[in-house]
Amino acid sequence: GAGVSQSPSNKVTEKGKDVELRCDPISGHTALYWYRQRLGQGLEFLIYFQGNSAPDKSGLPSDRFSAERTGESVSTLTIQRTQQEDSAVYLCASSRATQETQYFGPGTRLLVL
C-alpha cells in the first residue's frame, strides 16, 4: 500500500518568508508526527496529532512554527518568517495507533537563504 507522502520534496526560500509543508499519512493511521532532522544530527520531535485530541506541540521550537491536521488525514506544518537555522529536513511519520510503529515519509528538505 501507499506509504507516507510529503510535499514538496525540496524547498528553497528566502529568510523572512513563510513556508508550508504537507504530509499525507498512510490511510487509516490515526496518529501523525512531525520531526526535524538537522544536518548530521538525529531527529527532533516537533508535534503529534492523535484523532480529535489536542495535539502535543511541546517540541515546536518557537511560535513561528505551527501545524494543523484535518481529521485523520492531511497535515500541514507552517513556518513563518523563516530563519536560516530553520534549514533542515522535515520528516512526517504516521502510525496505526499511538503506540504502534511509526512509518516515515521521504521528508521535505528546506533551505533558507
Partner 1 sequence: AQSVAQPEDQVNVAEGNPLTVKCTYSVSGNPYLFWYVQYPNRGLQFLLKYITGDNLVKGSYGFEAEFNKSQTSFHLKKPSALVSDSALYFCAVRDGRDSSYKLIFGSGTRLLVRP
6-65 residues in contact with partner 1 (CB under 8 A) are: 6, 31, 33, 35, 40-45, 48, 50, 56, 59
Q: How many residues bind partner 1 (CB under 8 A)?
A: 26
d(CA 105, CA 88): 15
For residues 19 and 91, which CB has a smaller minimum distance to partner 1 in the complex? 91
Site string for partner 1, 79-108 (x = CB under 8 A): ------------x-x----xx-xxxxxxx-
Task: Specify the 3-state DSSP secondary structure of 84.
Answer: helix
Listed in sequence order, the residues at least 6 apart from 23 whose beta carbon sits closer than 8 Å to its beta carbon are 4, 5, 6, 32, 34, 74, 75, 76, 77, 92, 94, 105
Grid cell, residue 45, equals: 520531535
Q: Which residues bind partner 1 (CB under 8 A)?
A: 4, 6, 31, 33, 35, 40-45, 48, 50, 56, 59, 91, 93, 98-99, 101-107
